Structure 1
Amino acid sequence: MGDVVGPPPSPAPNGGAAARAGGVQILPVPGLPEVTPGADLAALIAAAAPWLVDGDVLVVTSKIISKAEGMLVPAGDDREAAREAAIDAETTAVVATRGRTRIVRTYHGLVLASAGVDTSNVDQDTIALLPRDSDASARALRAGLRDSLGVDVGVLVSDTMGRPWRVGVADVAIGAAGVRPLRDLRGQRDGHGNDLAMTVVADADQLAAAAELVKGKSGGVPVAVVRGVRKLVDVGGDDGPGAAALVRVLDEDMFALGTAEARALGHREAVTLRRSIRHFTSQEVAPDAIARAVASAVTAPAPHHTTPWRFVHVASDDVRKRLLTVMRDAWAADLRGDGFDEAAIARRLKRGDLLWEAPALVVPALALDGAHTYPDARRATSERAMFQVAMGAGVQNFLVALAAEGIGSCWISSTMFCADLVRAELDLPDDWHPMGSVAVGYPAEDPRPRPPRDGSAFLVTR
């Protein structure tokens, strides 16, 4: 175990030599140039480490991933204010605060100080954010090295975190490809015959921390190789579940809500994250992300213990094209009936381009199968209004849940004006009432800061 195939890097005189423990080697990758936006990291690393072999684990500091992917924001005249604004933008919930220190949950699901926003190892007029999707970055780097060098390595993207109840920081894996991040020993027995009931080992984190021994925070070596752990690398296999498998789901997090102060602040921040986004990137939105947002949506209150929410993800391009075409034609006909000329109609129809351009389209619908029937119009109207209020709460939950994952959205009322056509195109039951459309996608640019609003103008006290 641990045999070197190919020439490893020359040992550095000051602690950079390979660290050995039980046949495991930790090898620095020196000589990488300064990484700039758009850089081909796979090519740079292949040139600096042509000695990589199958089964090696490449550990890459997230900072150079962020630089290559352009996850940088200008600091402007006030770097600290820009840093605080960046933390706000990356945060979905505040877990704890003390003085100026904030422990937050990011849209990635990570819980860490300052949302991973960093001002070290970047120009003084720049602030670095975490990669948008470190698992995807790891997968791309693994594929690039396979193409460049013909080797099958595991890749970890690492970042530094503090640890509850422990002093000091350590590197952990926030992205992974080709490496099994967890080793589940539950159901096995130790050497004394005791059942292992709760032991799940975070091997990816241990590799990330080990690699930091030869990288360091200020040594200019952002990449290291852990050799001798081939059993943890899926050589010839797929990329695996990624470091997402290391993120504890909220339902199992005993400390998810943090302090009372943080809970109150986090609730306010979750709501204000929701913005109407009208320009999206071309990045696809994973169906799982939409499913998670729907799961949040259906926690809204509803009358009579019913579940009146339906969310139709229009995933078929053909269905989407037909739906938006009939909606556009119906809108144009309504405008002509209202006396608008063709130029004015064209201007108004352009507002609907967002639904064509967004990477995903979701149509919320109100199902009235649980509504009570009343003989008089007053109670029937009130019954319908109750369900509409519940639908609005569900849609708001849906939009906020998307925003919490860094996904933008824009609710547009269009389907409400041609409900019969929408039901026909989407093959929906007659008692499903389309309640607008939601364009979904990753924002092409950061929304302008939302000025604080004074609620007193909308609050009436009797």
Structure 2
Amino acid sequence: MLSITVIPVKVNGDIAPKSDLGLVILESLYANGVALQDGDILVVAQKVVSKAEGRIMDLAKVKPSRRAALLARDLQKDPRIVQLILDEAREIVMMKNGIIITETRHGFVCANSGVDQSNLARDNAAILLPVDPDASARRLRSFIKKQQGRDVAVVITDTFGRPFREGQTNVAVGVAGIKPIKNYIGKKDMFGKKLRVTEIAVADEIASAAELAMGKSAGIPVALVRGYEFERAGRASIKDLSRPKKRDIFRHTCNNR
């Protein structure tokens, strides 16, 4: 049986725009007395990635369109936030109870296009998802390999709600070095029956496990998952976890109301 360990990594201070996030993480690992090992999975909160990549938006500079203003009035939201949501969306899936469910340009179906105002030192600002979370994960993985010679996987996470359950959970929004889905189709269960549909979203499960150690306000945006034997992938992509629109029951239900 596997013994899996989740190690929280505290980062001192806030991440400033244009920070060298890879260097900050390595320094934080050292300060926390954590030495990387081959096969570790580095889990990083999306928010620090976005901060380092300059994805913080000054709301004073956001000019809402007429459409954003009308939607904001109906949904009782800040029209500048609505404008950012629209800018980040590929498609609006549903609007209700002050929430806009969109498909982002990345292919994520989530609330408010991932636009968020929590855990920001600045008032009158909002933070967006990274432009390409997979690329962000690859850069961190490559930096660690170059600096320390360690072969680690990287999972970038964010907090999403779920259409059929209460509460939020952390999910993977970017991956590098790890295949995000473990496929059991065609294999046999413990009674010898062939499995037909089982695919485990291991990247999401890793993200959720790490969040238990990271929290939301403890200054722990990084965690190390150690001991899980994952399937390596040279060119992993979070797109493997996105369900095609034609098979998305949630969106089909919304569009037929």
TM-score (norm 1): 0.49
2:123 counterpart of 1:139: no
Corresponding residue of 2:40: 56
- Determine the C-alpha separation between the residues in 2 that align with 1:93 and 1:222: 30
Matching residue's letter, 1:63: K
Corresponding residue of 1:193: 192
What secondary structure sits across from 1:130 in the alignment? coil
Task: Say how many residue pairs are matched.
Answer: 238
2:110 counterpart of 1:115: no
Matching residue's letter, 2:151: D
> In 2, are the aligned partners of 1:141 and 1:155 still within 8 Å (CA)?
yes
- C-alpha distance after superposition, 1:378-411 (max 9, x if no partner): xxxxxxxxxxxxxxxxxxxxxxxxxxxxxxxxxx
2:237 counterpart of 1:242: yes
- C-alpha distance after superposition, 1:275-312 (max 9, x if no partner): xxxxxxxxxxxxxxxxxxxxxxxxxxxxxxxxxxxxxx
Unaligned runs of 5+ residues in structure 2 are: 63-76
Corresponding residue of 2:54: 70
Larger Rg: 1
What secondary structure sits across from 2:25 in the alignment? helix
Matching residue's letter, 2:249: M
What secondary structure sits across from 1:251 in the alignment? helix
- Determine the C-alpha separation between the residues in 2 that align with 1:233 and 1:153: 12
Higher relative contact order (CA 8 A, sep 6+): 2
> In 1, are the aligned partners of 2:59 and 2:80 still within 8 Å (CA)?
yes
Choose which of 98, 101, 113 in structure 1 pairs with 2:96: 98
- C-alpha distance after superposition, 1:3-61 (max 9, x if no partner): xxxxxxxxxxxxxxxxxxx5110000113431111111111111111411111101100
Within a 5 Å distance, the mapping from 1:107-256 to structure 2 comes to 107-122=105-120, 123-229=122-228, 231-232=229-230, 234=232, 238=234, 240-256=235-251
Matching residue's letter, 1:80: D
- Determine the C-alpha separation between the residues in 2 that align with 1:41 and 1:82: 28
What secondary structure sits across from 1:131 in the alignment? coil
1:195 Cα offset (Å): 1.6
- Determine the C-alpha separation between the residues in 2 that align with 1:117 and 1:25: 31
Q: 1:218 to 1:101 in 2, by over 3 A?
A: same
Q: CA RMSD in A?
A: 1.9
- Determine the C-alpha separation between the residues in 1 that align with 2:131 and 2:42: 20
Corresponding residue of 1:80: 78
Q: 1:232 to 1:260 in 2, by over 3 A?
A: closer
1:233 Cα offset (Å): 5.2
Corresponding residue of 1:335: none
1:80 Cα offset (Å): 2.4
Corresponding residue of 1:406: none
Matching residue's letter, 2:147: S
- Determine the C-alpha separation between the residues in 2 that align with 1:219 and 1:258: 38
1:261 Cα offset (Å): 8.2
What secondary structure sits across from 1:87 in the alignment? helix
> In 1, are the aligned partners of 2:11 and 2:25 still within 8 Å (CA)?
no
Corresponding residue of 1:37: 17
Q: 1:71 to 1:45 in 2, by over 3 A?
A: same
> In 2, are the aligned partners of 1:60 and 1:224 still within 8 Å (CA)?
yes
Within a 5 Å distance, the mapping from 1:340-419 to structure 2 comes to none
- Determine the C-alpha separation between the residues in 2 that align with 1:261 and 1:91: 20
Structure having the higher strand fraction is 2
1:77 Cα offset (Å): 8.8
> In 1, are the aligned partners of 2:163 and 2:250 still within 8 Å (CA)?
no
What secondary structure sits across from 1:221 in the alignment? coil
2:17 counterpart of 1:25: no
Unaligned runs of 5+ residues in structure 1 are: 2-21, 263-462
1:143 Cα offset (Å): 0.5
1:251 Cα offset (Å): 2.8
1:210 Cα offset (Å): 0.2
Choose which of 245, 254, 257 in structure 2 pairs with 1:259: 254
Matching residue's letter, 1:223: V
1:152 Cα offset (Å): 1.1
> In 2, are the aligned partners of 1:142 and 1:155 still within 8 Å (CA)?
yes
What secondary structure sits across from 2:60 in the alignment? coil
- Determine the C-alpha separation between the residues in 1 that align with 2:3 and 2:256: 49
- Determine the C-alpha separation between the residues in 1 that align with 2:253 and 2:144: 41
